[in-house]
Amino acid sequence: MYNKILIPLDGSKTAEKVLPYARYLAGKFKIPVELLAAIDIAEMATHLAAEKARLLDTMIEDGVRNSTAYLRLIANTFPGINVTCTVDKGRAEEAIIEKAAADKGLLIAMATHGRSGLNRFLLGSVAEKVLRGSVNPLLLVRAADEATPAAEVPFKKVIVPLDGSPLAEIVLPMVAETAKKLDLEVVLFRAYHIPYNAYAGDDGYSAVNYDDLIASVRDEANEYLEKKLAEVKKLGVEKVSSASKEGFAGDEIIAMARKTPDGLIAMCSHGRSGVRRWVLGSVTETVVRHTSDPVLVLRAG
């Protein structure tokens, strides 16, 4: 299980959206927290004219001092939790990955956009490289609004999307341990659909064929979920349920989460289509971009 939470911060209010969830998890798991800020020296240097390069050292010192003071203020919002503050001189994504690599039990918790905006922080130089480069579990929280959240945000259910592949199922032991620790209900979820070319012949759409096919696919999905439900119960989880829905995975996962208050979505970093498709492609990208629920991404190797 997790033995520490690493929280990257850039000084923005949007990046701080992850803090209520991190406080809750740190308190429940009784684990320490490390707050991390990065001073990108290379970026600083690009903004200096050659004759002013001597000012770089002063800028770095000011950056370290200001970042340290900021992190200490944030640390004071974690009562009863052991918090350390670290300011790294380098690129944010490299600092995060390096810190995480030293401890496989570390959970990275970060907002899906910070000072640089959603596209850059989520799929750009920071979070994309963390997703691709770190083997650690990653909690992503989409900072979609300016409302001030509660000091802590508890979870009641964890939704686990499955695609029928063994790789996607790798999340189940970690999900089971998390559910037992937090007293969560586990909801196993599978979306299913039939590609158009599977039921449309030379004459186009065939309603009879489609009805037969979708019924078969639905039954197969539900039988699969029942088997996985039994496996999760064997792992010691008392509250387990399952649901399936016809439709595209990303859309249906989001819809399911919307109907599940105080929920957490737990997804494998790659499933049937491979890491690039599952993490940075249509499924997880869609979920992380559009759900209001936190997403726990676990690497499958």
Domain boundaries, the chain: 4-141, 157-298
Do the domains 4-141 and 157-298 sit in the same CATH topology, yes or no? yes
- Supply the pLDDT for residue 200: 58
Read off the tokens for 65. 């001092």
pLDDT for residue 273? 46
Helices (H), 124-195: 127-133, 171-182
pTM of the model: 0.85
pLDDT at 280: 39
At the fourth CATH level, the homologous superfamily of domain 157-298 is: HUPs (3.40.50.620)
Residues of the chain below pLDDT 50: 114-124, 271-281
pLDDT of residue 292: 84
Q: Could you give the angle at which helices 19-29 and 171-182 cross, rounded to 10 degrees?
A: 80
CA separation for the pair 88, 9 (Å, rounded): 12
**Backbone torsions φ then ψ of 149, nearest 5 degrees:** -75, 170
> Residues 6 or more apart from 33 whose CB is under 8 A from it?
4, 5, 6, 7, 22, 26, 75, 78, 81, 82, 83, 84
Q: Are residues 153 and 27 in contact, defined by beta-carbon separation less than 8 angstroms?
A: no
* Mean pLDDT, rounded, of the chain: 83
Q: Which fold has domain 4-141?
A: Rossmann fold (3.40.50)
